[in-house]
């Protein structure tokens, strides 16, 4: 039996004019070649897009290429020529001049070492900063001018491996409190400061990652959200200060001893995700009907919206039949408040014995409503003078009436109308003949 196998070749390429000037890709193997020398001092980083295609289509991917530093620049003096006039009585130890040289190479390759060539008995030069100092008393009568030659050399690269450094510091980002898991807060990046081919970096979180709310990709340095954030959670409300570490990796990808740490601060931006809430679903109170207007009811109502600023502003309203008999304050709240309910009109048990109200806390968002019930019951008080049915009870009875005989039923009724506070006496005249 025969069968045909069709080989579909993959074709590799590089995209873009600038990238094509520097890089060539072998179509069949995907091996990348450099077409011309790179120069870190001109461009330290390039984003190069490579492509791979088959008969079905093309896939492109961007590769970030960092150009490492080599010490390929000689230092140069700035602001030449140098000529200084100093008084002959300039004291020994006085700094009289400063030479200035720069080197375009970065890091260790870029630091310059100064010396006088040949050395002078009268002047010295600070190797690192180029400061020229008088070291011996001068005498105009002996010498009127000194000509000195400064030698600037690039400092020898020390054998000690330098620690990497973070770029684009400081790391501080504000993110919405509802950022979903997987959301990238930011990419952090550290670079190898040493000359030559830069080593890879591994990124880790050392501390501050409360409840593992964030994840840091070891290779890419991408810091992402990995849990459900909530600004109103007291553990998260003041933000996160995460200590991150960058470790240079050896060629076999094991961590080297060259590391650097920094902190990353993340603050959560409030979202209006909480409605106002009362601290109970219902409040009940019993008050004397004679409670004065202005009397504050012993109702301990607290209401709170846990959000921040305008996201925690709301209006309080007490509604229901006869709710105007009471007043509530405050009615405009931001954040949290203890509410006071006060008597607004003279109350009367004989007219209304109990009240039942709805208490709302409404935010500007219509679905953000806090709700509670309020029940107020009045205690009856003896605020009415009793009234006898007759002004005089006149009864006659025979003298033989036995002790304990019921003689008379006295009817007493009350009607409302007397102002509160009247003392009541039940004195009445009964004449018995
Ligand atoms: C050296 O020259 C550079 C470039 O002109 C300047 O920015 C720097 O301030 C100079 N340093 C001193 C110490 O004069
Ligand atoms: C300049 O200084 C360096 C370092 O001290 C020394 O190696 C070099 O020979 C000096 N150059 C000249 C021209 O003297
Ligand atoms: C509501 O809060 C107030 C004020 O803090 C407090 O006095 C009251 O006991 C609370 N009520 C409930 C049911 O927790
Ligand atoms: C409201 O209260 C009044 C007494 O002030 C009463 O007559 C009336 O029936 C009540 N209305 C409702 C709807 O409860
Ligand atoms: C508060 O919200 C409730 C429920 O949505 C609504 O019945 C009431 O009219 C609102 N009150 C105000 C003052 O907006
Ligand atoms: C009380 O009753 C007696 C006898 O029935 C009568 O004579 C007398 O006038 C009455 N007194 C009054 C104040 O009504
Ligand atoms: C009761 O009798 C006394 C003395 O006789 C009199 O002063 C008073 O007015 C009488 N009270 C009533 C309510 O009739
Ligand atoms: Ca919130
Ligand atoms: Ca809110």
Q: State residue 309 phi and psi, 5-degree precision.
A: 55, -135
Question: What is the C-alpha separation between 28 and 12, in angstroms, rounded?
Answer: 6
Rounded to the nearest angstrom, the distance between the alpha carbon of 78 and the centre of ligand 1 is 8
Cα–Cα distances (Å) from 154 to 80, 126, 148, 411, in that order, read 19, 15, 19, 121
Rounded to the nearest angstrom, the distance between the alpha carbon of 151 and the centre of ligand 2 is 6
- Cβ 322 under 6 angstroms from ligand 4: yes
Q: What is the number of the ligand closest to the CA of 427?
A: 7
* Residues 270 and 305: beta-carbon distance below 8 Å: no
Residue 327: closest CA among 281, 376, 383: 376
Q: Tell me the two tokens of residue 247.
A: 């470790």
Per-residue pLDDT tens over the stretch 203-229: 999 999 999 999 999 999 999 999 999
Percentage of the chain modeled with pLDDT above 90: 45
Q: What is the mean pLDDT of residues 382-396?
A: 66
Counting ligand 6 atoms within 8 A of each CB, the residue from 394, 431, 432 with the most, and so the one to mutate, is 394
E strands, 57-213, are 58-66, 76-77, 95-98, 101-102, 112-116, 123-125, 131-134, 150-154, 165-166, 171-176, 184-187, 190-191, 201-207
Rounded to the nearest angstrom, the distance between the alpha carbon of 357 and the centre of ligand 5 is 13
Counting ligand 1 atoms within 8 A of each CB, the residue from 75, 77, 102, 152 with the most, and so the one to mutate, is 102
Ligand 2 atom closest to the CA of 151, numbered from 1: 1
- Cβ 207 under 6 angstroms from ligand 4: no
Rounded to the nearest angstrom, the distance between the alpha carbon of 362 and the centre of ligand 5 is 6
- Region at 40 (left for phi over 0; alpha for psi -120 to 50; beta for the rest): alpha
Per-residue pLDDT tens over the stretch 113-149: 788 888 888 888 887 778 888 888 888 788 888 888 8
Q: Around 413, how many Cα atoms within 13 Å sit in the side-chain half-sphere?
A: 4
Cα–Cα distances (Å) from 112 to 71, 81, 126, 158, 162, in that order, read 12, 19, 11, 13, 17
Q: Ligand 3 atom 9: the closest Cα is on which residue?
A: 300
Residue 94: closest CA among 131, 139, 143, 140: 131
Ligand 7 atom closest to the CA of 428, numbered from 1: 13
Q: What is the number of the ligand closest to the CA of 356?
A: 4
Predicted confidence band of residue 385 (pLDDT cuts 50, 70, 90) = low
The SS3 call for residue 413 is: strand
Question: What is the C-alpha separation between 376 and 329, in angstroms, rounded?
Answer: 17
Q: What is the number of the ligand closest to the CA of 117?
A: 2
Query: What is the pLDDT at residue 129?
Result: 77
The SS3 call for residue 110 is: helix
For β-strands 123-125 and 131-134, DSSP reports them as: antiparallel
Question: What is the C-alpha separation between 8 and 272, in angstroms, rounded?
Answer: 55
Q: What is the mean pLDDT of residues 269-288?
A: 96
Per-residue pLDDT tens over the stretch 94-105: 888 888 777 666
Beta-bridge partner residues of 393: 430
Beta-bridge partner residues of 47: 64
Residue 112: closest CA among 163, 162, 151, 81: 151
Q: Ligand 1 atom 11: the closest Cα is on which residue?
A: 100
Rounded to the nearest angstrom, the distance between the alpha carbon of 100 and the centre of ligand 1 is 6
Per-residue pLDDT tens over the stretch 35-86: 877 877 788 788 888 888 887 888 888 887 877 666 566 677 777 778 888 8
Question: What is the C-alpha separation between 16 and 63, in angstroms, rounded?
Answer: 13
Counting ligand 4 atoms within 8 A of each CB, the residue from 320, 321, 345, 376 with the most, and so the one to mutate, is 321
Query: What is the pLDDT at residue 140?
Result: 78
Residue 323 has pLDDT above 60, yes or no: yes
Instruction: Select, from the ranges 1-15, 99-113, 348-362, the one with the highest average predicted confidence (pLDDT).
Output: 348-362
User: 2 CB contacts (<8 Å, ≥6 apart)?
Assistant: none
Percentage of the chain modeled with pLDDT above 70: 84
Q: Tell me the two tokens of residue 68.
A: 């490492």
Q: Around 303, how many Cα atoms within 13 Å sit in the side-chain half-sphere?
A: 30
Question: What is the C-alpha separation between 256 and 199, in angstroms, rounded?
Answer: 10
Q: State residue 3 phi and psi, 5-degree precision.
A: -140, 150
Q: Tell me the two tokens of residue 393.
A: 């009870």
Q: State residue 62 phi and psi, 5-degree precision.
A: -100, 135
Residue 423 has pLDDT above 70, yes or no: no
- Cβ 394 under 6 angstroms from ligand 6: yes
Q: State residue 110 phi and psi, 5-degree precision.
A: -100, 0
Question: What is the C-alpha separation between 166 and 162, in angstroms, rounded?
Answer: 13
Radius of gyration of the chain (CA): 46
Report the Cα 99 to chain-centroid distance in Å: 47
Rounded to the nearest angstrom, the distance between the alpha carbon of 300 and the centre of ligand 3 is 5
């Amino acid at each position: 039996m025969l069968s045909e196998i069709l080989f579909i070749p993959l074709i590799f390429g590089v995209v873009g004019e600038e990238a094509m000037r520097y890089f060539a890709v072998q179509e069949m193997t995907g091996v990348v070649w450099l077409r011309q020398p790179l120069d870190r001092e001109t461009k330290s980083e390039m984003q190069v897009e490579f492509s791979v295609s088959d008969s079905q289509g093309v896939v492109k991917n961007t590769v970030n290429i960092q150009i490492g530093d080599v010490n390929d620049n000689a230092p140069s003096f700035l602001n030449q020529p140098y000529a200084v006039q100093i008084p002959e009585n300039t004291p020994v130890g006085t700094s009289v001049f400063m030479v200035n040289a720069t080197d375009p190479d970065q890091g260790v390759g870029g630091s310059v070492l100064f010396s006088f060539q040949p050395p002078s008995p009268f002047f010295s030069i600070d190797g690192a900063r180029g400061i020229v100092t008088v070291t011996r008393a001068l005498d105009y009568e002996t010498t009127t001018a000194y000509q000195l030659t400064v030698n600037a050399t690039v400092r020898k690269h020390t054998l000690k491996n330098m620690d990497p450094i973070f770029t684009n510091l400081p790391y501080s980002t504000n993110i919405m409190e509802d950022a979903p898991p997987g959301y990238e807060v930011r990419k952090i990046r550290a670079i190898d400061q040493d000359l030559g081919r830069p080593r890879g970096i591994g990124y880790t979180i050392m501390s501050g990652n409360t409840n593992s709310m964030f994840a840091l990709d070891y290779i890419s340095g991408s810091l992402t959200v990995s849990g459900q954030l909530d600004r109103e959670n007291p553990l998260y409300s003041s933000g996160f200060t995460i200590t991150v570490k960058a470790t240079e990796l050896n060629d076999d990808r094991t961590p080297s001893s060259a590391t650097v740490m920094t902190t990353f601060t993340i603050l959560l931006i409030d979202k209006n995700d909480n409605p106002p809430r009362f601290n109970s679903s219902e409040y009940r109170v019993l008050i004397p009907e004679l409670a004065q207007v202005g009397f504050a009811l012993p109702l301990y109502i607290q209401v709170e919206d846990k959000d921040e600023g305008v996201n925690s502003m709301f209006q309080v309203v007490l509604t229901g039949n006869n709710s105007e008999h009471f007043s509530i304050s405050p009615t405009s709240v931001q954040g949290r408040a203890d509410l006071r309910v006060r008597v607004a009109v003279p109350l009367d048990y004989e007219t209304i014995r109990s009240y039942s109200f709805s208490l709302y806390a409404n935010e500007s968002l219509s679905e953000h409503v806090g709700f509670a019930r309020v029940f107020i019951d009045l205690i009856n008080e003896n605020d009415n003078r009793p009234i006898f049915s007759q002004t005089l009870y006149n009864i006659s009875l025979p003298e033989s009436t036995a002790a304990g005989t019921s003689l008379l039923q006295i009817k007493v009724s009350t009607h409302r109308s007397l102002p509160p506070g009247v003392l009541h006496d039940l004195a009445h005249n009964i004449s018995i003949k």
